[in-house]
Structure 1
Amino acid sequence: MTQPARIAMLGGTFDPVHIGHLRSAVELRDSLGLDTVHMIPAPQPPLRGAPQVSPHQRLALLEAAIGDTPGLKADARELEREGPSFSVDTLRSLRQEYGDQARLVMAIGWDAFLRLAQWHKPEQLFAFAHLVVIARPGHTEEPSASLLELLGEREVDSVSRLMAVPHGRMLRVTLPTAMAISATQIRQWLSEGKSVRYLVPEAVESTILNEGLYQRW
């Protein structure tokens, strides 16, 4: 009997994609035994300012960064959608694609997790997917009362318990490599003409320099 597919959504601005994003995706794939991690650039995230370059340029950089990495996929579905970019709509789309029994995960970082109660229809996220929170070493801020109420009794303590059902649970994970790489800092250095070698994949660096991306504010 075939096992249900294990799929993750890893959204972000990827402005630009860097090795911290990519290493997190690979470690998430391995930690959860995932078949595919959909890395999904947001056209205009509702809770932050406008990205520095066009959505399709960021997608092209992501595709170049992933290359032939097994289990990672650059997914353009949010760029093809009209209006704001809401995670619940993306999860609904992935659920329709993979079917009712697939184990669908939305992975987010600790900072985004703390703001989850402010998201668009956050209670509906669990109707489509599990939530996996990537812990940040040394974090001090704790979840708010509204966030704890939203989570209820959903949290589990193992991958096996998470994957026992298609959706509706939450798991905190600590990935082996915690890379303190900031896209904001990368953009700043590029605007100042400084090197970002070894912070982004070589293919991404070449495209940024050849096309003059991020090099003036």
Structure 2
Amino acid sequence: MFGGTFDPVHNAHLRVALDVVEQGELARLHLIPCRIPPHRGDPSVTASERLAMLDLAARGEPRFVVDDRELQRAGPSYTVDTLASLHEEFPDAHLVLLLGTDSFVTLPQWDRWQQLGERAHIVVMARPDSPLDAPEPLRDWLQGRQVETWSALRDHPAGCVLFQEVTPLAVSATDLRERLAAGRSGRYLLPDAVWEYIRDKGLYGAGGSAG
């Protein structure tokens, strides 16, 4: 699973997700937009709009599955609960949680974070130019869990951590929202269908005349 607010989904989200799918030879990757993010403010647009953009972005890649289970669940979106739900639905699957480096280093702040390894492996999408600055509780937890290859990860049902290098694309949702609010174009930073949707709906302050 690859979760997030996707506010909005952009090309960097999709490229790093595809990197992991290809490197891990994954049959499917669930893209799961969260309902209420526990560690940041409310998303800028509605849940249905974020889901619609994600649906548009994932078209054409059959291994991407847009999954709205967190949007259907009341309250904050805790990853440990989502993994439990996926485990119930796919009891024989080895689950893999994808995290960016910036999210991984904040794990000790997550709800029941130490239980994540009981439900899934963690693959950290690491950029070559992004050093890991993990807090001490996370460094301690990581001891004995890190593996170097996908084959080693598959030797265990859950609990391993693999650092996977991904394509470095300097695109962020925060920068995109600021760009659009300032009347600048999001073209080539977003999938074309997502950019057209944002323009048509006037989301994030984008006007219909922007290029």
TM-score for both structures, normalised by structure 1? 0.91
* Percent pairwise identity: 44
Shift of 1:102: 1.2
Residue matched to 1:167: 158
Residue matched to 2:87: 95
Residues 60-110 of structure 1: CA deviation (Å, up to 9, x unaligned): 0000111131200111000000111100000011111111x3121001000
Q: Which of 125, 147, 157 does residue 156 from structure 1 map onto?
A: 147
Which sections of structure 1, spanning at least 5 residues, go unmatched? 1-8
Residue matched to 2:69: 77
Q: What does residue range 117-132 of structure 1 map to in structure 2 within 5 Å?
A: 117-132=108-123
Distance 1:111 1:169 in 2: 18
Residue matched to 2:209: none
Residue matched to 1:13: 5
TM-score for both structures, normalised by structure 2? 0.94
Q: Which of 165, 176, 179 does residue 186 from structure 1 map onto?
A: 176
- Do the aligned partners of 2:5 and 2:34 also contact (CA within 8 Å) in 1? yes
Distance 1:40 1:171 in 2: 21
Distance 1:36 1:13 in 2: 20
SS in 2 for 1:178: coil
Amino acid at match of 1:88: V
Amino acid at match of 1:106: L
Shift of 1:129: 0.3
Amino acid at match of 1:126: G
SS in 2 for 1:85: coil
Q: Number of residues paired by the alignment? A: 206
Shift of 1:52: 0.5
Give every structure 1 segment of 4 or more consecutive aligned residues whose post-TM-superposition deviation is greater than 4 Å: none
Which sections of structure 2, spanning at least 5 residues, go unmatched? 207-211
Question: What is the root-mean-square deviation in Å for CA atoms of aligned residues?
Answer: 1.2
Residue matched to 1:4: none
Residue matched to 1:5: none
- Do the aligned partners of 2:36 and 2:75 also contact (CA within 8 Å) in 1? no
Residue matched to 1:45: 37
Shift of 1:140: 3.9
Shift of 1:34: 0.5
- Do the aligned partners of 1:117 and 1:150 also contact (CA within 8 Å) in 2? no
- 1:114 paired with 2:102, answer no
Shift of 1:141: 4.9
